[in-house]
Chain A
């Protein structure tokens, strides 16, 4: 059974870049599409984007100008970079499987990691 674990700094300063990594265990990074989803405190879910092991990506238009998702097949990991962050980017960030199409839901989720944007 695939398991996902997010890692990265819990505190990022405004205007800087948020960087998170998701480590895949119990399966191969080539097996699925992979997504990032975030949830501001007390609020709903927002899809950030997906990546395939080939490097093919798709991003939420609302975040596209600031987001980069990449993959490292040698480490069985994929990563999220969000630049020029503000307090509005404070959220729990989840990595998940799926998200490539309407037929490809978010089956497996990591536990999530809280990122606070503050000076």
Chain B
């Protein structure tokens, strides 16, 4: 059971907008930055969004991150086939004194 809660799957057709949610608590998302990782099949995860809404270089501006209270979201607009991947959210937890992850969301482009 993951500390952060994500939907196990999400899907959309090319060109659509899709949002992936990440729900936590006051000790993690509520107090700290949220990070997102993208994992393509058979590869290691990569940092995809940092400090809630900052894109590392190379991440298209079709992707955006946001945080409100104890929840965060990753939005993808203009969905493309190459966006198919697993997406994980993560945050530091002040009570556990540890990093916690969501269970991951598999994004499928129909």
Identify the A interface with B (CB < 8 A): 35, 43-47, 58, 60-62, 94, 99, 101-103, 105-107, 109-112
B63 CB within 8 Å of chain A: no
Contact of B37 among A45, A58, A103, A111 (CB under 8 A): A45
CA distance A44 to B100 in the complex (A): 11
- What are the nearest 5 A-B pairs in CB distance? A47-B99, A102-B32, A102-B92, A109-B44, A45-B101
- Chain A residues whose CB sits within 8 angstroms of the CB of B91 once the complex forms: 102
A60 lies within 8 A of B103 (CB): no
Interface size on B, residues (CB 8 A): 25
B90 CB within 8 Å of chain A: yes
- Chain B residues whose CB sits within 8 angstroms of the CB of A102 once the complex forms: 32-33, 91-92
